[in-house]
């Protein structure tokens, strides 16, 4: 039989496998030996000189036979770490190695058998206890009596079988790696390219749709602002023309009356009372000018739910974060009805039995369960998120620092005066409260967290749900003084999140 093996270990594998499986000795074993130096394949014939078909006899014959070390397989196996000798049929020009092996460990490929120093017998046994070669007398009566010993041939057979198994496992592992590279990684690469292409198309499509919608909304809003500007300009022109004419008429009437007063004789002045009365009535009919909202640009012309939502999303999810890790509740402002956590971030409503009397502080709310934040906001953009959890009654918003702190009146009640703007939740209903006015809010699901976004340049206060970035309510207001975070709770607790 002829076999192509890539390395000397595989040659050993095949040769020994032929012996292990009981190949017919009369049949030569043909090996295709690969020579790395000449990059040629040479057929090497190994013919055991046995005539019997018994595998045991074959093994014994191979053991006792005189090995020709010039054969390529043995020259490949006996070289150790140095250059290995190859036959002239494998190499046209190569350095020759000694024909006999220098392996003194086992003596398998030695041209001369080693003898036991003590008994002068052949070292044909192996002591597993001391891991050395011994003779049969050492095993029976010598120093290795009682040790774990095995015939050398059995030990060699086990080791060779073990090496064969290892080589087979390595070959299978190599095949699996090759299959993984050629199949799995190639398929993954193709899948990656397809997925990346799909992702790019999706991003471009979404951005294109958003850009198109934003451009259309931009055009609509600009046209609306233009129409509103033209309306106001027309009103101003009309008012200007009307009052200019009224001013001219009034000036003429006044000049006439002054002329009558200074140049008309007394007798004629008395007889012209009716004419004078008509002129006075005409002057009084001009009326008093007054300012109206029609002369101002309607701020609602630039309001857009889409634009506000996109702006809020960009502000909340964009690369610039506006939250502050130093935002906490000001302990001086906390009502006796509430307790403040040690980190100054959580307000908890206290029942009557657990309330404590606190020392008087002009900054403290004494009747309403309120507390204010520690940071003042008067420029830039700010946001914060509060965890309201399962609280059934709370308020979150902003207020002026000048908000009244004492008494049970509306002046200190959040949302019931002109100095506070809050989102309120009570008995399942949500509303926006300012100056005692409530705007009911439609909330699809009960939020566990409420977010506030204050943009000072645009004077916009926005309430949103952080989980979905859905805008709950927004208001544009001229804030005349710095603002503080303002909260109230009468059920469970609320917490500032960072």
Shared domain for 68 and 100, answered yes or no, is yes
Query: Same domain, yes or no, for 270 and 361?
Result: no
Range of the domain at 328: 319-497
Please say if the pLDDT value at position 422 is more than 70.
yes
Residue 318 has what pLDDT? 64
- Mean pLDDT of all residues in 251-278: 80
Residues 441 and 444: their CA atoms lie apart, in Å, by 10
Residue 47 resides in a domain:
yes
Checking if the pLDDT of 33 tops 70, the result is no
358 found inside a domain: yes
Judgement on whether residues 362 and 288 belong to the same structural domain of the protein: no
pLDDT the model gives residue 24: 40
Q: Which of 233-242, 252-261, 310-319 has the lowest mean pLDDT?
A: 310-319
Tell whether 78 and 193 lie within a shared domain: no
Q: Which helix or strand (DSSP H or E) is residue 60 part of?
A: helix 55-64
Residue 418: is its pLDDT beyond 50? yes
Q: Which of 403, 407, 408 shows the shortest CA–CA distance to 421?
A: 403
Element (H, E) at 346: strand 346-349
Q: How far apart are CA 74 and CA 65, in angstroms?
A: 14
In a domain, 153, yes or no: no
Same domain flag for 327 and 287: no
Instruction: Identify the residue with better confidence: 461 or 285.
Output: 461
Average pLDDT over the chain reads 78
Q: 287 and 205: one domain?
A: yes
Mean per-residue pLDDT for 357-364? Answer: 89
Question: In the block, which residue shows the tokens 């014994």?
Answer: 60
**Residue ending a domain, choose from 295, 327, 351:** 295
Mean per-residue pLDDT for 165-189?
94
> Is residue 331 located within the same domain as residue 470?
yes
Least confident of 51-55, 164-168, 170-174, 485-489: 51-55
Contacts 24+ apart (CB under 8 A), 295-301: 295/232, 295/235, 295/236, 295/239, 296/232, 297/225, 297/228, 297/229, 297/232, 298/228, 299/476, 301/221, 301/224, 301/225, 301/227, 301/228
Q: Is it the case that residue 336 has pLDDT exceeding 80?
A: yes
Does 433 score more than 50 pLDDT? yes
**pLDDT over 90 (residue 369):** yes
Between CA 387 and CA 450 the distance in angstroms is: 7
Comparison of pLDDT for 315 and 468, the residue scoring more: 468
pLDDT value, residue 5: 41
Residues 457 and 352 in one domain: yes
Question: Cα(60)–Cα(22) distance, rounded to whole angstroms?
Answer: 12
Share of the chain above pLDDT 90, in %: 44
pLDDT for 58 equals: 44
- 423: confidence class by pLDDT, cuts 50, 70, 90: very high
| DSSP secondary structure of 387-413 | E-TT-SEEEEEEEETT---SSSSGGGS
In a domain, 247, yes or no: yes
Tokens (6 digits) for 143: 């120093």
Q: Is the pTM of this model over 0.75?
A: no
Of 265-269, 358-362, 493-497, which one has max mean pLDDT?
Answer: 493-497
Using the predicted structure, report yes or no on whether residue 54 has a pLDDT greater than 60.
no
Give how far Cα 446 sits from Cα of 84, 389, 453, Å. Answer: 81, 9, 19
Residue 319, pLDDT score = 60
- pLDDT band at residue 73 under the 50/70/90 scheme: very low
- Asked if pLDDT for residue 249 goes beyond 70, the answer is yes
- In this prediction, residue 323 carries a pLDDT of 64
303 compared with 147, residue with greater pLDDT: 147
* One domain for residues 344 and 290: no
260 with 329, same domain? no
Distance CA 452, CA 212 (A): 29
For the residues 177-198, what does the mean pLDDT come to?
A: 94
**Within this chain, do residues 347 and 486 fall inside the same structural domain, yes or no?**
yes
Average pLDDT estimate for 68-92:
36
Structural domain count, the chain: 3
What is the rounded distance in angstroms from the CA atom of residue 453 to the CA atom of residue 465?
A: 11
DSSP label at residue 416? S
Query: Reduced to 3 states, what is the DSSP secondary structure of residue 441?
Result: strand
Q: Which two tokens stand for residue 61?
A: 């014959």
Residue 221 has pLDDT above 80, yes or no: yes
Which pair of tokens denotes residue 468?
A: 């979905």
């Amino acid at each position: 039989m002829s076999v192509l093996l890539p390395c000397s270990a595989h040659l050993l594998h095949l040769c020994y496998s032929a012996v292990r499986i009981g190949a017919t000795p009369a049949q030569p074993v043909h090996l295709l030996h690969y020579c790395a130096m000449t990059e040629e394949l040479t057929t090497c014939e190994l013919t055991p000189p046995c005539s019997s078909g018994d595998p045991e006899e074959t093994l014994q014959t191979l053991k006792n036979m005189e090995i020709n070390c010039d054969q390529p397989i043995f020259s490949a196996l006996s070289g150790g770490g140095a250059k290995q000798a190859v036959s002239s049929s494998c190499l046209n020009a190569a350095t020759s190695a000694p024909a006999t092996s220098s392996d003194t460990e086992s003596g398998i490929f030695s041209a001369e058998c080693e003898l036991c120093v003590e008994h002068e017998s052949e070292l044909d046994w192996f002591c597993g206890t001391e891991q050395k070669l011994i003779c049969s007398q050492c095993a029976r009566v010598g120093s290795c009596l009682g040790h774990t010993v095995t015939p050398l041939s059995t030990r060699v057979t086990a080791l060779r079988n073990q090496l064969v198994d290892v080589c087979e496992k390595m070959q299978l592992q190599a095949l699996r790696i090759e299959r993984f590279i050629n199949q799995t990684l190639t398929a993954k690469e193709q899948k990656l390219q397809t997925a990346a292409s799909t992702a790019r198309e999706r991003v471009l499509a979404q951005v294109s749709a958003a850009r198109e919608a934003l451009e259309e909304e931009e055009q609509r809003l600009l046209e609306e602002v233009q129409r509103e500007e033209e309306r106001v300009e027309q009103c101003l022109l009309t008012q200007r023309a009307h009052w200019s004419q009224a001013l001219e008429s009034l000036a003429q009437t006044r000049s006439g009356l002054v002329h009558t007063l200074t140049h008309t004789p007394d007798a004629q002045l008395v007889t012209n009372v009716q004419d004078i009365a008509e002129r006075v009535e005409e002057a009084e009919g001009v009326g008093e000018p007054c300012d109206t909202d029609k002369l101002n640009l309607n701020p609602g012309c630039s309001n857009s739910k889409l634009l506000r939502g996109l702006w809020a999303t960009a502000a909340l999810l964009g690369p610039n974060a506006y939250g502050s890790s130093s935002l906490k509740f000001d302990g001086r402002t906390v009502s006796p009805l509430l307790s403040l956590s040690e980190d100054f971030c959580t307000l908890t409503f206290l029942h009557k039995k657990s309330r404590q009397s606190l020392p008087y502080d002009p900054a403290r709310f004494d009747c309403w369960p309120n507390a204010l934040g520690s940071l003042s906001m008067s420029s830039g953009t700010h946001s914060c998120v509060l965890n309201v959890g399962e609280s059934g009654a709370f308020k979150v918003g902003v207020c002026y620092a000048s908000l009244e702190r004492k008494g049970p009146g509306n002046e200190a009640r959040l949302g019931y005066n002109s100095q506070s703007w809050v989102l309120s939740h009570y008995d399942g209903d949500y509303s926006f409260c300012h100056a005692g006015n409530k705007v009911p809010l439609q909330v699809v699901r009960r939020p566990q967290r409420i977010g506030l976004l204050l943009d000072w340049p645009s004077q916009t206060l926005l309430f949103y749900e952080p989980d979905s970035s859905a805008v709950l309510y927004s208001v544009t207001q001229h804030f005349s003084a710095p603002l503080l975070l303002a909260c109230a709770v009468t059920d469970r607790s609320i917490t500032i999140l960072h």
